[in-house]
Amino acid sequence: MILRSVLSAGVALATLGVAAAPAFAEDITIKVWSRADRSGPMRPGNIVEAADTLNNMLAAAGSDKVVKVELIETNNKGFDADALDVLKAHSVGDSPDIIVAAHEWVGAFAQAGLAANLEDHIKSNPNLYADVIPTLWESVKFKGERFGVPQDSEVRMFFLNNDMLRKAGKSEEFIAGLPEAVNAGEFTMDDLCDLAAEVKDSGASELGIVHRPNVGPDFQMAMASFGIEMYNAEEARLQVTKSGLKDYYSWLHSCVEKGAIPADMTTYSWDSVHEAFRGEKAFSKFHGIWNLGPQLEAFGIDATDGDAYFDKITWINAPAGKKGGEPKNMSHPVVYVVADTPNKDVAAMLVALATQHVPNTKHAVGTNHTPVNYGQAAMPEFVEKGWGLIAGVPLLEYAEFMPNHPKIGQYNAITFQGVQAVETGEMTPDEAAEMVVEELETELGEDLIVLD
């Protein structure tokens, strides 16, 4: 009898405890989804620190609420795979509150009902956002509205090894004049391959140009050089021209023929791509500014010695496809997306705090990404260690973004099929262009405009 009453009292207490718990809730847990990425540990880290700041504010206001951050770090190989995983989690009702994503996924996230519209949040907090570089906002827009906040930006380039150019008999004037010749449209993509082949044939390097081995933004930058405009913003549809593709693939074909690009480039591992340039086997590498840190280390150059670095390496935009054309660059910002969950207002405030100058500079300088706020460039840390980033800013003049279209991933994958087919010699440039347009039409359907 006694036992039974003790038991029932216990059960009653437990029930009461469970039912009463939400009434005294003090913890707000914000789930942050991010890839464990060597090139940006502070992306989620800055959110964790923002929570500390916010908690100090809450405590000062006498609130008993505490914001906790739960990190969901994934092992995905790239932003695309990671974005697909977060969409899967969302489809079973397990959405995180903040997502660190590549900007081109904003469209898919918004369409899936995962991303919250941040227009009101951004407009009502001008003191937190007004210094963000305006063009970067373009990267988070879907159908004209902002569904994210830029976390970093970058420039891409062909890195050229000056020592090899010298060994191949090129004068200092020629080397120093390259970036300008590229920007003026005098030095074209074909000239670049000729130069790479010349350096290689002279024995100054083992390889000519190395590019990424897998699908990615660099290729869109090269496509843009050949006049392919990938996006029709008014209709929100992707677009392609067969003639542009033919020019682009013909260029790749001729580069491989000349020996300037290895035919098996697309079967390289990332490590061998990095090693080829950092180990001074390849004359040129087509990638992005965040390579600076590892390059300084590999070449044994002091991290504060910008002059020594630029004596060894030249940066150029992707040259124009035809003489007199415009060079191209591509910035591929990583962004914070706030999910449309009950916690979205708190999550958005954390994003706002993480976007401020001090935390963002920690990320930008630490991992060689260009900043998101204008004011960061004046910070002492930036002036001392960020010389490379400041040098990258002029390249941004020619930068475009990838379209924020839900099917851009497929578009990139299919155009990459053409790259692989041409480089390995499986198809002629014309066949590859035909194949790619057919694949694009089949897979993208109404989301694609074929201009010619």
Partner 1 sequence: MSASSSYRQATNFAVFLGPALVFLLALLVAPIIVDLVVAFTDMAQTVTINEFTTKQFGKLVHASDDSWLGFELRGTFYRALSLTAVFVFLTLTIFNVTFGLILALTTTALPDRLGAFFRAVWLLPRMAPSVVYALLWIWVVDPTERGLLNQLLVHGFGMAPVNMALNHPMALIVISNGFIGASMGMLILTSSIRSIPQHLFHAARADGAGSLSVIRHVVLPALRWPLSYITVFQTLALLVSFEYIFLLMGSSRSTMTMAMLAYTKTLAPGIGSGQYAYGAAITLILIVIGMVSALLLYRLTNMKALLAKPRIEVH
Q: Which helix (H) or strand (E) holds 293?
A: helix 292-299
In the complex with partner 1, which residue's Cβ is closer, 15 or 91? 91
In the complex with partner 1, which residue's Cβ is closer, 170 or 287? 287
Task: List interacting residues with partner 1 (CB under 8 A).
Answer: 76-78, 80-81, 83-84, 87-88, 90-91, 108, 111-112, 214-216, 263-264, 266-267, 406, 409-414, 416-417, 420-421, 424, 426, 435, 438-439, 442-443
In the complex with partner 1, which residue's Cβ is closer, 40 or 386? 40
Minimum CB separation of residue 102 from partner 1 in Å reads: 11
Minimum CB separation of residue 192 from partner 1 in Å reads: 23
Q: Which of these, 207, 209, 249, 208, lies nearest to 225 by C-alpha position?
A: 249
- Going by C-beta distance under 8 Å and a sequence separation of 6 or more, which residues neighbour residue 402? 103, 104, 217, 220, 230, 330, 332, 408, 412
Chain centre distance of CA 47 = 19
Q: Which helix (H) or strand (E) holds 423?
A: helix 408-423
In the complex with partner 1, which residue's Cβ is closer, 212 or 312? 212
CA atoms within 13 A on the CB side of 363: 30
Minimum CB separation of residue 337 from partner 1 in Å reads: 14
* 240 strand-pairing partners: 450
In the complex with partner 1, which residue's Cβ is closer, 280 or 439? 439
* 28 strand-pairing partners: 67
Minimum CB separation of residue 146 from partner 1 in Å reads: 20
Q: Which of these, 107, 108, 109, 78, lies nearest to 96 by C-alpha position?
A: 109
Minimum CB separation of residue 91 from partner 1 in Å reads: 4
In the complex with partner 1, which residue's Cβ is closer, 52 or 426? 426
- The number of helices, as runs of H, and strands, as runs of E, in the chain is 21, 16
Distance CA 439, CA 169 (A): 45
Minimum CB separation of residue 188 from partner 1 in Å reads: 28
Chain centre distance of CA 223 = 17
